[in-house]
Amino acid sequence: MNLYDEWNKEFPSDTKKSKGKGKPIEYIQKISNILGYPNYKLVESVLVKGVPKFLISDGSNIKIQSSIELEDRTLKPFAPNSYMNKPYSFDSDEQVQEYVAKARSERFDTLYRRVKPIWKRYIDADDFHITMCAADTIFTYFQDRIGLTHYLFFVGPPGSGKSNNLTLFQYLAYRNMTSTGLSYANIYQFLGSGEEGTGTICEDEADNIDEDPEKMKIYKNGYTTGRPTAKTDISYGRNQLKFNNYCWKALSAEKLPDVVKGQGFNQRIIEILCTYGIPQYDISEVVNPAGEQEFQGLLNELLEVRNLLLIYRLLHYSEPLPNIKLNLVNREKQLFKPVIRVFQKTETLKELLPVISKYVRERREKNANTFHAFLYKLIKGLIEKNNSYELASSEIWLQVILDLEGQPIQNKPLSIDTADFGTLSQKYVIQILKEVFGATKPSHHGSSSKLVFDPSKLAKLGKIYDIKLEVEVKESGDDGEDGDGSGKVGLDKHMQIEHKNEAK
């Protein structure tokens, strides 16, 4: 089955352009800054008293309409059964305006102070976990303005409550679709082919995501705008189809994706470890109150905050979000700068920066303790000792044994058991030195057991492994680029390797 047929089989036709007499009809969830229509700064599809409506913002006021007539097409809001996510719903036109009045008195700080206690009520976790999730909840409503995002990845054993995080995002994040076993067709249909960032995605039970190459491509490219997937449909001529990938995403699993298969994806996630806890309320009971008055009141609170966040987005969507300079670079900057940029010049930032600094320090320390980092320091030491970039394989292997105090393994020659990195073999070490460090065999004959290291490649690796563990994330000065040049690695550990693989 080709992509076109799979799309039409799985999804209702009213989510696409409708062909008929007169102007075509296009059903949308949201659209912004329509060319030639300056009063349509942002249009959001909602339900008002169960009826599909548009909320239309001109930058200061919000009006309600059933459709929008443009010169080339008619825009209509989604029908209730067309949503793949939970629609925003209001009881009446008057209630919409009540939310507008409330949202006018809100700021990022006040919204954060509304959202963070909700997370603490349902998730028993450390301050980084709660702070990051609360900030991300608000960030999702401006993800399309920033055009760059990280993903959250909740990792923990069964019973650790990791799925509860996704349920909370399902109710609070911007147009969130939460599901298990998402196919690439599901994702393409949800994100559409129009504007990017039309919603957010939560995927539960994502343990085998690294075995789905099509979905991994979407997730690896979907952290930034401007990287849609192009497909050629040959069933009705050779039509070029464009599918969006960009949006904020959160996933949960018992383990992270494989370090090789998921290398590019793992560089785009913020890992959040989940452990067993006892929250004040069980979110799964609250979203299914079954007539329990207390639970119904808590559910109403979630829906109220959700609607308030949407109205705040409508009122403030067109306001500038100035650039901010940080003492972070590369992957660290890509991961954290977007959310910091949203909360710049707020009291909330005073909470965000310390917990982000702690996370970066811990992640850098973890990266510094990898086997690749160990090998880099070992090779650097042998080159200085021999005053040569040409080293014997046997000398390298002997140094590995000595430094790691490796124990020989019976019936496995040239293999050792180590306390830090498990079982290692000389063949495995040499393979890493060739594939990761770029080592080659000497050009002259008689030296097949030696390896030659390129000084320029080692210098690049030095920027990855000679890392500064202590870091305090803060705004940098205006004298130059983002970052002060200190600790230029962090989460960018395998950036060169990733770029090499992607170029193949």
**pLDDT, position 5:** 42
Q: Is residue 254 part of a domain?
A: no
**pLDDT, position 45:** 97
Q: Give dist(CA 254, CA 274) in Å, integer.
A: 9
* Per-residue pLDDT band at 371 (split at 50, 70, 90): confident
**pLDDT, position 160:** 92
Structural contact between residues 220 and 264, judged by C-beta atoms closer than 8 angstroms: yes
**pLDDT, position 378:** 93
Give the range of the structural domain holding residue 31, as residue numbers without chain letter: 3-90
pLDDT tens column, 303-333: 999 999 999 999 999 999 999 888 887 888 9
**pLDDT, position 490:** 28
Nearest Cα neighbor of 127 from 116, 139, 141 is 116
Q: Give dist(CA 199, CA 26) in Å, integer.
A: 18
Q: Is residue 481 part of a domain?
A: yes
Looking up tokens 């498990």 gives 422
Q: Is residue 85 part of a domain?
A: yes
Q: Is residue 234 part of a domain?
A: no
Lowest mean pLDDT, pick from 134-138, 155-159, 290-294, 373-377: 373-377
Q: Give dist(CA 5, CA 241) in Å, integer.
A: 13
> How many angstroms separate the most distant Cα atoms in the chain?
87
Given 90, 116, 131, the domain boundary residue is: 90
Looking up tokens 């990845």 gives 153
Residues paired with residue 217 on neighbouring β-strands, in sequence order: none
Report DSSP state, residue 211: G
Q: Is residue 365 part of a domain?
A: no
* Coil, strand or helix at 127: helix
* Per-residue pLDDT band at 267 (split at 50, 70, 90): confident
pLDDT tens column, 161-186: 999 999 999 999 999 999 998 988 89
Query: In 10 A of CB 41, how many CB atoms?
Result: 18
Q: Is residue 152 part of a domain?
A: no
**pLDDT, position 251:** 97
Q: How many independent structural domains does the chain possess?
A: 2
Q: Is residue 344 part of a domain?
A: no
pTM, two decimals, is 0.77
Q: Give dist(CA 283, CA 302) in Å, integer.
A: 10
Given 45, 62, 90, the domain boundary residue is: 90
Q: Is residue 23 part of a domain?
A: yes
* Per-residue pLDDT band at 234 (split at 50, 70, 90): low
Element (H, E) at 452: strand 450-452
Given 48, 65, 90, the domain boundary residue is: 90
Nearest Cα neighbor of 269 from 501, 491, 493, 497 is 491
* Coil, strand or helix at 397: helix
CA 183 to chain centre: 18
**pLDDT, position 262:** 80
Nearest Cα neighbor of 155 from 250, 220, 259 is 250
Q: Give dist(CA 296, CA 290) in Å, integer.
A: 8
Token pair of 19 as six digits: 């062909």
Q: Looking at the predicted structure, is the pLDDT value of residue 9 above 80? A: no
Rg (CA), the chain: 26
